[in-house]
Amino acid sequence: MKFLDLCKVYIRSGAGGGGCVSFRREKYIEYGGPDGGDGGTGGSVWAEAVDGLNTLIDFRYQQHFFAKNGIPGMGRQRTGADGDDIILRLPVGTEILDEDQETVIADLTELGQRVQLAKGGNGGFGNLHFKSATNQAPRRANPGQDGVERTLWLRLKLIADVGLLGLPNAGKSTFLAATSNARPKIADYPFTTLHPNLGVVGVDNTEFVVADIPGLIEGASEGRGLGDLFLGHVERCAVLLHLIDGTSESIGQDYSTIINELEAYGGELADKPRITVLNKIDALDDDERAEAKAILEAASGGPVMMMSGVAREGVTDVLRALRGEIDDDRLRHRPAEEAEPWRP
């Protein structure tokens, strides 16, 4: 399944059915009077968050969604049938934006959440509705109300507890593969990861979700590399895990590059709790580790953890540090008998 996290759709609610002008004309009934029914209400367009979806690929091949129109009223006081609604089934975490791509109409963050995007038009009144003591034979009816037509953008932001940040080849996919059942592509060239990956990580009888996004490079906010659009997938995370390649010759600059891109992206992303980790320490001796850690601590101005995703050295400590930054209501606790022993 191809991953797609941004698409454009065109929706239109149904128009209401027109009212009917009709009179009762039967033998032996001298004064039948008006009996035109009202028109039916047009169908509405709804969005609903459903389970089992993690991409918007379905909306690449169908962008137009039109609800049914209401049926016009008929004689003998018959009201027209209402038009059928149409429902856009979306993954949990989808943002619905107006045509300007800035105004947020709805944010579907919970399973089963529904929101009305376009209301169907009301049906028109038939001439029976206008009957009165002074107007016993009205010959007018209302037309149905027009439907609402809109152009919307759908943007998917994956629901995860931890977001992985780093330059290409910082070891993000290796970390995800080492700590979960996810199998992201791992190779020794930049931009191996082309779309976000999710993995469920367990430590100390608790589980949380980790999101791996494509690597950032300097100028990503201006469109270089794969850009910074994928940062939307870590906006909902409780904590960010910033991985730095310990074998790099510019550790301090690598750290500053990611932080600058976070600040350029805007929002609250740069202010989220962040754990900085020096990765790939299996390729360094003790002196090189100490030197690299000192450089990174000076650049970050805070504590630095050390880890090797390949050798699984220090991985458990990093997972426990991440768990400490996540609220208990976001964690999934497993009974001790179901827990699998962690093998570092």
Task: Indicate the annotated binding residues for GTP.
Answer: 166-173, 191-195, 212-215, 279-282, 308-310
DSSP string, 171-200: SHHHHHHHHSS------SSS----S-EEEE
> Does residue 276 contact residue 244 with C-beta atoms inside 8 Å?
yes
* Cα separation, 9 vs 66, whole angstroms: 11
Binding-site members for Mg(2+) are 173, 193
Burial class (CB within 10 angstroms; exposed 0-12, middle 13-18, buried 19+) of 134: exposed
* Whole-angstrom distance, CA of residue 136 vs CA of residue 338: 77
Biggest distance spanned by C-alpha atoms of the chain: 110
DSSP label at 111? Answer: T
DSSP H/E element including 8: strand 6-12
User: Whose structure tokens read 């929706």?
Assistant: 11
Q: Which residues contact 6 (CB under 8 A, 6 or more apart)?
A: 56, 153, 154, 155, 156, 229
Q: Please return the burial class of 218, using the count of CB atoms within 10 Å of its CB with bins 0-12, 13-18 and 19+.
A: middle
Joined together, the tokens standing for residue 225 give: 């590399």
Gap between the Cα atoms of 105 and 149, Å rounded: 15
For residue 256, the surrounding DSSP H or E stretch is helix 251-265
Can you tell me the distance from the alpha carbon of 171 to that of 252, in angstroms, rounded to the nearest whole number?
Answer: 17
Q: Residue positions in the annotated binding site?
A: 166-173, 191-195, 212-215, 279-282, 308-310
Do 304 and 278 form a contact (C-beta atoms < 8 A)?
yes
